[in-house]
């Protein structure tokens, strides 16, 4: 399957709840009046687009109606697709590689959101591009996380730097950076712990990791990716706020879009948090992580009309 087709397949549930509801509303309405807009508001909020973004979209529609740009309900689908694409594309920043390797990518997020899987897929993406990848198991809190990362390392052909369970995560990160430099790796991806119930400790741990990494490579980590699970909808927004306050998140990976109708949350992440989504996860397979492309996303969301 090509990238666009797998994105489209991954967004099927969101498309069904979101776009199809909008289309039902449109086909049952003669004109865009306040009653119509109220129903549209309910559809947008149910799709986890967020209150602020919903209000903004409704304002845009009112303005377009007044200006005569939109004269009937059936013109709304292309209008909304365009507006959502514009929101997602505003200030877009793509995944970046360091001018001088290794590029160090720190991956943060709450347990269960798909962090380890994302690291595996991300490593695979760079391997496919001919780059040498090293993974670092700095989530030393869970033995299973270390094992899982090793399995991914074997699968994608990447060395894994690990210590034993309970070791100091900063020591793992230090060794990993040293190894990446010595082995001339192009990309180093660092897994981190995600137990949110010990929030303060976790945030201190992340800060310490950063310090250790940037002592060896001043510009590193070049990326701090926050992994969020789309199926959690507005919960993902609160997680992003917590992590955003503790570390400089440079981009979001939104996982499990294929398992949810709440894909609209991507708009809220962008619009309400100002965080760029850089990657989207659309399945459990090694190929199911794609760089986020606003135009393709909006097209896939609206069924490529």
Interface positions with ligand GDP (CB under 6 A) = 111-117, 194, 255-256, 258-259, 281-284, 288
Q: Is the CB of 61 or the CB of 206 nearer to ligand GDP? A: 206
**Closest C-alpha among 31, 139, 92 to residue 275:** 92
Please report how close the Cβ of residue 100 comes to ligand GDP at its closest, in angstroms. 30
Strands 277-281 and 223-229 come out as: unpaired
Please report how close the Cβ of residue 146 comes to ligand GDP at its closest, in angstroms. 11
**Pairwise CA distance, residues 239 & 25, whole Å:** 33
In what order do the strands lie in the sheet containing 187-192?
159-161, 133-138, 187-192, 103-108, 223-229, 251-255, 277-281, 289-291
Q: Is the CB of 263 or the CB of 276 nearer to ligand GDP? A: 263
Please report how close the Cβ of residue 24 comes to ligand GDP at its closest, in angstroms. 27
Q: Is the CB of 40 or the CB of 249 nearer to ligand GDP? A: 249
Q: Is the CB of 114 or the CB of 169 nearer to ligand GDP? A: 114
**Pairwise CA distance, residues 194 & 107, whole Å:** 10
Please give the span between the terminal C-alpha atoms of the chain, in angstroms, as a whole number. Answer: 20
Please report how close the Cβ of residue 304 comes to ligand GDP at its closest, in angstroms. 21
Q: Is the CB of 161 or the CB of 282 nearer to ligand GDP? A: 282
| Residue sitting closest to ligand GDP (CB) | 281
Please report how close the Cβ of residue 269 comes to ligand GDP at its closest, in angstroms. 15
Please report how close the Cβ of residue 32 comes to ligand GDP at its closest, in angstroms. 36
Q: Is the CB of 61 or the CB of 190 nearer to ligand GDP? A: 190
**Pairwise CA distance, residues 287 & 297, whole Å:** 17
6-43 as b/e: b if 16+ CB within 10 A: bbbebbbbbbebbbebbbebbeebeebeeebeebbbeb
């Amino acid at each position: 399957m090509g990238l666009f087709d797998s994105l489209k397949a991954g967004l099927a549930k969101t498309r069904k709840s979101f776009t199809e509801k909008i289309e039902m509303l449109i086909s049952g309405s003669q004109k865009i009046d306040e009653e119509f807009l109220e129903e549209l508001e309910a559809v947008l909020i149910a799709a986890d687009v967020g209150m602020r973004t919903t209000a903004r979209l409704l304002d845009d529609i009112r303005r377009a109606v007044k200006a005569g740009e939109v004269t009937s309900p059936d013109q709304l689908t292309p209008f909304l697709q365009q507006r959502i694409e514009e929101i997602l594309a505003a200030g877009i920043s793509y995944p970046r590689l360091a001018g001088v390797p290794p590029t160090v990518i720190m991956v943060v997020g709450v347990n269960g959101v798909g962090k380890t899987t994302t690291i595996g897929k991300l490593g695979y993406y760079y391997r496919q591009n001919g780059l040498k990848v090293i993974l670092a198991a700095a989530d030393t809190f869970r033995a299973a996380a270390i094992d899982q990362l090793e399995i991914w390392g074997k699968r994608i052909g990447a060395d894994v730097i690990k210590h034993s369970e309970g070791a100091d995560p900063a020591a793992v990160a230090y060794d990993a950076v040293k190894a990446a430099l010595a082995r001339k790796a192009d990309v180093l991806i660092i897994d981190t712990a995600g137990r949110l119930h010990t929030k303060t400790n976790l945030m201190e741990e992340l800060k310490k990791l950063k310090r250790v990494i940037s002592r060896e490579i001043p510009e590193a980590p070049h990326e701090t990716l926050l992994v969020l699970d789309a199926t959690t909808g507005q919960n993902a927004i609160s997680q992003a706020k917590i992590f955003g306050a503790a570390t400089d998140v440079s981009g979001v990976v939104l996982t499990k879009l294929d398992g949810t109708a709440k894909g609209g949350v991507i708009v809220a992440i962008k619009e309400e948090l100002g965080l760029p989504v850089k990657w989207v996860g659309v399945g459990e397979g090694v190929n199911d992580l794609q760089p986020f492309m606003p135009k393709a996303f909006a097209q896939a969301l609206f069924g490529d009309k």
